[in-house]
Chains A and B, each alone.
Chain A
């Protein structure tokens, strides 16, 4: 089967941006596909299977990124990864609960 190419534009919506946990989750999912996946931020293009490379983009809230995949499951890869980016806000909320034992100190920002 000829290598297919697919891409999707996403925006980082969570307040914490693409910190270690989202980057780790993104890299893990990206490496589960047969396709080679890259994440593009402005002129920077990195291998999406490495959390270190993903974090080096410094993608804060509001950053526009393009997910690009080349391979037989490219379309599935970009769809699944775009969906994962949408779950970053929920991931942040779980992290806040774990890191802040006192509920009064770090009230969660309202979900929007």
Chain B
């Protein structure tokens, strides 16, 4: 699965403003509302579902990356958004470090395979230190989008 299959070009946030976990998730789901990927009416329910998932264990998996996610019946395809926080957010990560890079994913309840393949794409690309570093240093949505496209074209995977 490629990034362009689940990250909309207009759902990229180079400068996330939130300073705590819940407001960050609200901000990122808000980006998906603004881009038209999810309905405004579903926002609260999606945020709550993602927070419920975080209660079971943080999706901050170390190296400054978190992948907050949930299944939600309001979407009929996997939708995702990517965002960067220069300050970093305390996400109770496995390694205790602040998180700077976020991939938020919402998948239909009946499509576990898509969710797994999206996680595979994100983690396979981020295994590459260069891609991860470039992404964290990106200052504009355009620059991030370009990096995701380059990753989709296998320019980072060794």
Contacts and interface: CB of A to CB of B under 8 A. Distances in A.
Interface in A11-55: 15-21, 23-24, 27-28, 50-53, 55
Contacts of B55: 98
Interface residues of A, number: 28
B123 A55 contact: yes
B120 A57 contact: yes
Interface of A: 15-21, 23-24, 27-28, 50-53, 55-58, 60, 94-95, 98-101, 105-106
A50 B120 contact: no
A51 B56 contact: no
Contacts of A57: 120
B123 A60 contact: no
Interface string B49-68: 10011011101011101010
A105 B63 CA distance: 35
Interface in B13-71: 49, 52-53, 55-57, 59, 61-63, 65, 67, 69-71
